[in-house]
Amino acid sequence: MMPRILPVEPGAVPILVWSRALPPGAEKQLRHIAAQPYVVEHVAAMPDVHVASGVAVGTVFATEHHVVPGALGGDLGCGVSAWRFPQPASLPGRDVLEPLLARLAREVPVGDAVHRGRGVPLPSELESPSLSTQKLRHAWERLAPRHLGTLGGGNHFLELDRDADGDVWLLLHTGSRGMGAAIADHHLRVARALGQGALPALDTHTPEGIACLADTQQACHFARANRDAIAARAVPLVAEALGLAPDAESTVDVHHNHVAAEEHGGRVLLIHRKGAVGLEAGQRGLIPGSMGTASYVVEGRGEPRAFRSCSHGAGRVLTRTEARARIRPAALEHALRRVVYERGRAAALVEEAPAAYRDITEVLEDEADLVTPLLRLTPLAVLKG
């Protein structure tokens, strides 16, 4: 669909919306960020836009020399990775998937679980990051070894899917865990004390703005390292269960809570994405649906009006509280009758039921000028955080 342009308010930049359904609360948040003095060009709302803390999920905007800590979410660098296992002799059944899911749950700490004691050894590139404060460096020493290689909770997942050719895919969604949250919280406090605008921003010509950008980038490095650490445990288990090696060249990794310096319209801008993926034209990405519906491998179309962005998923239509109130465990069990999952956790997993999310087909229709779908991935087994 072509984007809708909301009526422009005095002193604000335009808002372009790629969603047929714009929740009133999300529109209010979009208008709030569009009115900030540091925002340039326009604000782009992705098809999965919905209300969140500070800034709506699915919001993309640009600044010239400001970073906005409150516009990136707490899980800095959160993203999705995928590995393809080409053409098994037959699709794995429950006899394979159920023990595999149980092994993954034992090998990868999920939910609130972290590594015990001092944690795991850190790769050399993560051992002594140059974070901006002593407190953050101490937090890194304490948290990074215990959180590296852990999934976390909420909508984070490990998932086995199949495509139309019969290939099996392992999808992984997680981020920077407690370390990213500590970095985000620190710079949000600094911005509230020293920043500009009703949603405080830090000027990147100041030491505080420079530090925020550098620390945020370090959190994104940790998020990618976290996905790699989980993959180092999960991929061999899947390979063993399927009797197949993954195709390394088909691996995809994208993150969706970040700020990046990019050239748009002939000048370098700081593009803020909260719950949105940046894809160059021809670059592959991933758009997950929900634990009972399809996900997609897509290719970016480089749409300049969206700052070369797309949705990061299907987008919630029910808050977690609403989902718990409205969706019964029996309804979740019916929706997931063809998917292997931890049935004993059905009461807790209603927050992530397919009914809590938008129809992923509609989302893709709404962003037809942002991405081209390449592969439809249907879930076989899901391990939720």
378 is written with which tokens? 């249907």
Is 312 annotated in the active site?
A: yes
**Residue 384: helix, strand or coil by DSSP?**
strand
Residue environment code for 317-355, b if the CB has 16+ CB neighbours within 10 A, otherwise e: bbeeeebeeebeeeebeebbeebbbbeeebeebbbbbbe
Of 187, 258, 272, 312, the catalytic one is 312
Residues 84/258, Cβ–Cβ less than 8 Å: no
DSSP 20-62: S---HHHHHHHHHHHTSTTEEEEEEEEEEEE--SSS-EEEEEE
Residues 183/136, Cβ–Cβ less than 8 Å: yes
Residue 330, C-beta contacts closer than 8 angstroms, at least 6 positions apart:
none
Residues 235/83, Cβ–Cβ less than 8 Å: yes
Residues 187/203, Cβ–Cβ less than 8 Å: no
Residues 44/306, Cβ–Cβ less than 8 Å: yes
Cα–Cα distance for residue pair 92/28, rounded to 1 Å: 46
Look up residue 106 and give its amino acid. R
Provide the pairing of β-strand 79-85 with 57-63.
unpaired
Task: Tell me the catalytic residues.
Answer: 312
